[in-house]
Structure 1
Amino acid sequence: MTGTFNVGLNTVNSGGNGITDLEKAILAAIAEARSTCEQSGDNSPNCAVAWDIVEELQAEKSHQQQALKYKTALDKYCELYPEALECLIYDV
Structure 2
Amino acid sequence: MTTYNGVHAANNSALNETKTIEEAILESIAEARDVCDQNGINSPSCAVAWDIVEELQAEKAHQKQAKHRQTALESYCEMYPDALECLMYDL
TM-score bracket for the superposition, by shorter chain length: 0.5 to 0.7
Whose Rg is larger? 2
Distance 1:65 1:43 in 2: 32
What are the within-5 Å matches in structure 2 for residues 44-55 of structure 1?
44-55=43-54
TM-score computed with the length of structure 1 as normaliser: 0.60
What is the aligned-residue identity percentage? 56
* Alpha-carbon RMSD: 2.7
Q: How many residues align?
A: 66
Q: CA deviation at 1:21?
A: 1.4
What are the within-5 Å matches in structure 2 for residues 15-26 of structure 1?
21-26=20-25
Q: Are 2:70 and 1:72 equivalent residues in the alignment?
A: yes
Structure 2: runs of 5+ lacking an equivalent: 72-91
Q: Which aligned segments of 4 or more residues in structure 1 are displaced greater than 6 angstroms?
A: none
Q: Residues 58 and 38 from structure 1, CA distance in 2 versus in 1: closer, same or farther, beyond 3 angstroms?
A: same
